[in-house]
Amino acid sequence: MTDKALILDFGGVVTRTLFETHDVTERALGLAPGTLTWRGPFDPATDPLWAAMQRREITERDYWTTRTREVGQLLDEDWSDMKTFVQRARGAEPELVLRPEARDAILAAHRAGIRLAILSNELDLFYGVAFRERFPLIELFEIIVDATYTNILKPDPRAYELVLSQLSLSREACVFVDDQLKNIEGARAVGLPHVHFDVTRPAESYARALQMLGLELTGA
């Protein structure tokens, strides 16, 4: 075990985004192919709600609350929380959600003795405890700091300090990875080395994070 740590956001970084799994969602819910058209960062020009979130006019939770309700309405159901969406859309098969690039990076870090932690705003809130417990490779993460329970959301500086204190490492020994710019700005504000994860280029983002920790990711 080294004195270094890779700290990952969960949704979008460890998992494939819901934008990337519309086909899985449509199949699971019995919707016609092509029903779900919002594409977030993969086609921002066609997703005004996503653009509003990027301008910080609404929060990430607001965005997904709206999308959750919209999808529920397609089934003539009242969906009030993201957990319902995730569990109905793909909760039965967590392995479909894990990014292949995340799998490679997590295993590479683990083999190299780099410690692994998750810093999430809504892991259990969105995915649910049962989903997390069945999620592939979750057992390799020694620390999970989840604002579902702490009520301290990134980019609040206390969120980053909390995971650092649990790791008992200096910030210079860690690399934090998140796909939301506001959370990267929060890491920058507390001096935590970071990578702004690009969901459209995940292999490159993971390779950069591991390089910062002194590890080359073969095949990236």
Q: Tell me the pLDDT tens digit for each residue of 132-166.
A: 999 999 999 999 999 999 999 999 999 999 999 99
Task: Locate 158 and state its tokens.
Answer: 């206390």
Q: 5-16+98-212 belongs to which CATH class? A: alpha beta
- Would you list the domain boundaries of the chain? 5-16+98-212, 22-94
pLDDT confidence of residue 218: 67
**Rounded Cα–Cα distance for residues 121 and 150 (Å):** 9
Q: Encode burial over 27-59: b for 16+ CB neighbours within 10 A, e otherwise.
A: ebbebeeeebebbbbeeeeebebbeebbeeeee
Q: DSSP per residue over 4-72, as a string?
A: -EEEE-STTTTBPPTTTTHHHHHHHHTPPTT-----GGGSGGG-HHHHHHHTTSS-HHHHHHHHHHHHH
Return the pLDDT at 4.
98
Radius of gyration of the chain (CA): 17
Adjacency order of strands within the sheet including 5-8: 143-146, 115-120, 5-8, 174-178, 194-196
pLDDT in tens, 160-211: 999 999 999 999 999 999 999 999 999 999 999 999 999 999 999 999 999 9
Residue 15 β-bridge partners: 98
- pLDDT tens digits, one per residue of 61-115: 899 999 999 999 999 999 988 888 988 887 677 888 899 999 999 999 999 999 9
Spatial separation of the C-alpha atoms in residues 33 and 151, rounded to whole Å: 38
Cα distance from N-terminal residue to C-terminal residue, the chain:
23
